[in-house]
Chains A and B, each alone.
Chain A
Amino acid sequence: MSTEAGPAIRLSGLRKTFGTVEAVAGIDLDIADGEFFSMLGPSGSGKTTVLRMIAGFELPTAGTVTLSDRDVTRLAPFERNVNTVFQDYALFPHMNVQANVEYGLMVRKVGKAERRQRAAEALATVRLEGYGDRKPTALSGGQRQRVALARALVNRPKVLLLDEPLGALDLKLREEMQVELKAIQREVGITFVFVTHDQEEALTMSDRIAVFNQGRIEQIGTPAEVYERPASAFVAGFVGTSNLLTGTTAEKVLGRAGVFSIRPEKIRLNGAAPSIDEISAAGRVAEVIYAGPATRFVVDLDAGGRLVAVQQNQQTSSADVAAMRERPVRLTWHAEHVVAVPVSEDPLKGE
């Protein structure tokens, strides 16, 4: 889309300390033009602080923020060509939807006719035509979310920052909005930086994901890379279910020392005998969690350690799976689904 050489966003050596707390401990990151980029991590991992430094709400303690080759580290939010969708939407309650969407254009002294037209376009993009006269309080959560999106998009920013925008919505609406956000991003073609703590959300929407932990990035990669080749035990545990074989368990089951991750849906419960390139381990079902379409079995291995296996409920009912509790089982999985997780050597990061 753009002719500029540099990436849409470049963060170099970015740090932020609040008092004695180091919220962001050195981030280097390039986000390409037109990318849907997610920053995923637990609360307190520094992802929101990074977003706020890109927006200009926080000044970095050290490091630089570059937007399309322009150093904006010390610039105020109103001097940057980025817009933010806030977690609480931050719609102006004393203005109607139309005035909210037009606010950015009005501040920048865009003429009234153009304002009207662009606001109408933005509201059409988020499927809210005809809602201009409503006050934000007269809208549902999902509609407020869309107004916030339209209010940001109407300014045609280079980059749109989204701070957990779907966090306040119920599951159904959240899944709808995920699909819609992705569609809108493809349509307008601008860079989206999306902060979330929901790994599924990050996996389904993103071109690339950065997994944050304790103010650092643990891994950057495509959803498939992050999910299938976790670069650390933290990523393996945070993205998906933590299913690790370590220490003596790993040696007994896999015949190798180290830390290994196996995704729960790759594990077969009982069923056909293991073939030549499969690995199996015996254990006992400790817990059965029936979740509608699938059931999660928590299995204590005879070799020590614990694995979770997810099975589709294609043939089984809730009564069938409940009867599995306390039963001895055999877990089987394909050897290629065992992923060696690099063990962090950094002594500072000891738990």
Chain B
Amino acid sequence: MSAVSTVDRPVGGATAAGGPVRRLASWLHRHGWVRLTALLSAPMAWLVVAYLGSLAVLLISSLWTVNSFTGQLVREPTLDNFRTIFAEPVYRNVAVRSVAVAVAVTIIDALIALPMAFFMAKVASPRVRAWLVIAILTPLWASYLVKAYSWRVMLANGGPVDWLLGGAGNGPGYGLTATILVLAYLWLPYMILPIYAGLDRLPNSLMEASADLGGRGGRTFSSIVLPMIVPSVIAGSIFTFSLSLGDYITVQIVGGKTQLIGNLVYANIGAANNLPFAAALATIPVFIMIGYLVAVRRSGALDEL
């Protein structure tokens, strides 16, 4: 085999210089597992150590406690932290509120993204489409904090939003509504882009066929377009939902007194100095997301990510 390929090569320096390299390549070709190991060892190490490892540490430390007198870690596995979370209504409320915010953000983003992505993929000229993609991607380059604080300014008492709505106090001010509004703004691109990609792949002939068979716009959208892009919408919702569920900075900036899971985690790491309890709280969104992913797995959405 190697003899044949040597003959195939142009005669000259390449053969002399490439001899050992070519022999190695040929040896690797015959030993596929060595190539695979070389290719995957670094990313696998990263995935196992940094990613799954930290998740394991999180789960293990959520079973520890802190001695309330000394503040020392007690490394004895117990479910006390979870018992507290389920027993105390305040934690339950925060968890429910966090999920509700994530759901609201996801729905708002989906409602805005669908017509927007449809326009980009099916109506706009290639030129307009390119500009729209840029317009959607540019905010992702700006700092998260800058965007959140600029919304703080906009939502301030007597600020631009109040002014647009007719005077001081007419806007939502800081609070839950402002949190949902700002999170919906922040994560909108993550919803538009998968839906745009899904619509882009949807052949125009399917919509033409529906119109040809007598379907008006609304019918074509509900019977043909929507069922075909459900996986893309779910793919987008995985982003908007999980990003909203874990957020705590936006809430601090525009949320007023509103608390979400992220804020409780933050407070327990900092002020309360109860790392195990923070870890236990942090597992809540992890399990909610695992539940969500399992639920949407069958829709084919995970192939869209």
Contacts and interface: CB of A to CB of B under 8 A. Distances in A.
Interface of A: 55-57, 76-78, 82-84, 86-88, 90-94, 103-104, 107-108, 151-152, 155
Contact of B213 (A76, A88, A93, A107): A107
Nearest to A81: B214
Contacts of B215: 78, 103, 107
A85 to B, nearest CB: 9
A77 B203 contact: no
B204 to A, nearest CB: 9
A90 B206 contact: yes
B259 interface: no
Contacts of B227: 94
A84 B209 contact: yes
B214 A78 contact: yes
Contacts of A155: 213-214
A92 B211 CA distance: 13
Contacts of A152: 212-213
B211 A78 contact: yes
The interface residues of chain A, by DSSP majority, are classed as: loop
A90 B214 contact: no
A43 B203 CA distance: 20
A304 B211 CA distance: 56
Most B CB within 10 A of own CB, among A56, A107, A151? A107
B213 A104 contact: yes
Contacts of B228: 93-94
A152 B205 CA distance: 14
B210 interface: yes
B219 A107 contact: yes
A270 to B, nearest CB: 46
Contacts of B224: 92
B35 interface: no
A55 B208 CA distance: 9
Most A CB within 10 A of own CB, among B210, B214, B216, B228? B214
A68 to B, nearest CB: 18
Contacts of B203: 88, 90
Contacts of A87: 205
Given A90-B203, A92-B224, A94-B227, A104 B214 contact: yes
